[in-house]
């Protein structure tokens, strides 16, 4: 669940970075890509085979359900990005949704360290906290460039999204290949 979520969110961030920097010739292209990624995020949260946690103990329902909620928030973000690309809706709704996601991501930063090592390993807590902190920073930047809007920081936000998507993608790949210690179900 965590690895697929990180990879799909990295793809959403990468797509949105290209939109913010104006590199898509046709906005419908980004809309189609974001729509497919939104569907992938919903399936990641809902399908039992895809939503089994890799790094955390499945018995720790609070962390598992919180991560599923975060996945669904990013699915709504990707769907809103898709609607902006496909139908030309205003980006202000995307910015205000990013504010909500930033606050939620900031709350998740310390959540894994509340539990014991048998429930959430130190590696899992580090991956979840670092990725949530990066997602919170990027969400607040999206809020200020799209929701308020400060048009002067639009390209800077695009570059931060591009670099953040690479970092999140590398974290997702390392989780997928088992580079971090997992916690077995009790």
- Nearest-angstrom CA–CA distance, 93 and 91: 5
- The string of pLDDT tens digits covering residues 151-173 is 889 999 999 999 999 999 999 99
- Nearest-angstrom CA–CA distance, 95 and 104: 14
pTM for this entry: 0.92
Comparison of pLDDT for 164 and 62, the residue scoring more: 164
pLDDT for res 183 = 62
- The CA-to-CA distance between both ends of the chain, in Å, stands at 19
Q: Is the pLDDT of residue 48 over 50?
A: yes
Weakest-pLDDT range from 18-32, 35-49, 66-80, 113-127: 113-127
Give the dihedral of Cα atoms 35, 2, 71, 145; nearest 10 deg.
-80
User: Residue 158 to residues 36, 99, 139, 154: CA-CA distances in angstroms?
Assistant: 21, 16, 12, 6
> What domains are defined for the chain?
2-176 (1.25.40.600)
**Helix 122-142 vs helix 2-20: crossing angle, to nearest 10:** 20
Q: How confident is the model at residue 186 (pLDDT cuts 50, 70, 90)?
A: very low
Helix/strand/coil (H/E/C) assignment for every residue in 4-26: HHHHHHHHHHHHHHHHHCCCCCC
- The string of pLDDT tens digits covering residues 83-102 is 999 998 888 989 999 999 99
User: Residue 153 to residues 25, 92, 98, 133: CA-CA distances in angstroms?
Assistant: 21, 15, 15, 20
Strand spans (E) along the chain: none
pLDDT for res 150 = 85
């Amino acid at each position: 669940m965590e690895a697929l979520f990180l990879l799909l969110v990295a793809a959403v961030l990468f797509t949105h970075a290209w939109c913010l920097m104006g590199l898509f010739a046709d906005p419908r292209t980004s809309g189609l890509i974001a729509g497919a990624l939104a569907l992938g995020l919903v399936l990641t949260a809902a399908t039992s085979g895809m939503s089994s946690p890799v790094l955390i103990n499945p018995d720790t329902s609070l962390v598992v359900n919180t991560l599923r909620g975060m996945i669904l928030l990013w699915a709504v973000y990707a769907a809103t990005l898709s609607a902006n690309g496909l139908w030309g809706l205003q980006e202000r709704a995307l910015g205000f949704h990013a504010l909500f996601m930033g606050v939620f991501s900031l709350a998740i930063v310390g959540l894994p360290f509340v539990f014991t090592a048998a429930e959430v390993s130190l590696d899992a807590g580090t991956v979840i906290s670092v990725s949530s902190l990066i997602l919170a920073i990027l969400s607040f930047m999206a809020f200020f460039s799209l929701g308020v809007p400060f048009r002067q920081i639009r390209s800077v936000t695009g570059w931060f999204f591009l670099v953040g998507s690479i970092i999140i993608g590398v974290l997702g790949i390392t989780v997928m290949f088992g580079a971090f210690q997992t916690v077995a179900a009790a």
